[in-house]
Structure 1
Amino acid sequence: MHRTRRLAVATLVAGGLLMAVAPAAHAVVDPITVIGCLTSSAADVGSMVDPSAPGLPAEIPGTTCLAP
């Protein structure tokens, strides 16, 4: 029991230290813009299928929403 507890505490401490040392994100995400982009990319079904290779997706939906 003590071994499991020590492992859990060590994991939490290591995770906390990693979160404290991690660099801050430089991009600020606007949720309204992301939701609008994701709904429009989901509605555009024609770009998801490439006619020359129907088994392979042309692009992953929502990828364009990640561009700055």
Structure 2
Amino acid sequence: PSAPPAPANLQLANSTVNSDGTVTVTIAWDLPEEPDIPVHHYKVFWSWTVSNKSLVPTKKKRRKTTDG
């Protein structure tokens, strides 16, 4: 079987700046249609840019695995 295609139409559904300065975001995407093998989880990675400098948090703080 082939690997499932990447999710489509990735979008930011909600974002909140918390009182402690952390940011909480919710993202949404369309699932692939009829993959050859079932998808049990996704790994999400991110980084951001401020004042023309790329800021990449530690790997532990920029990775989240979720079921779905």
With normalisation by structure 1, the TM-score equals: 0.23
With normalisation by structure 2, the TM-score equals: 0.23
Higher RCO, 1 vs 2 (CA within 8 Å, ≥6 residues apart): 2
Structure with greater helix percent: 1
- Structure with larger Rg: 1
Structure with greater strand percent: 2
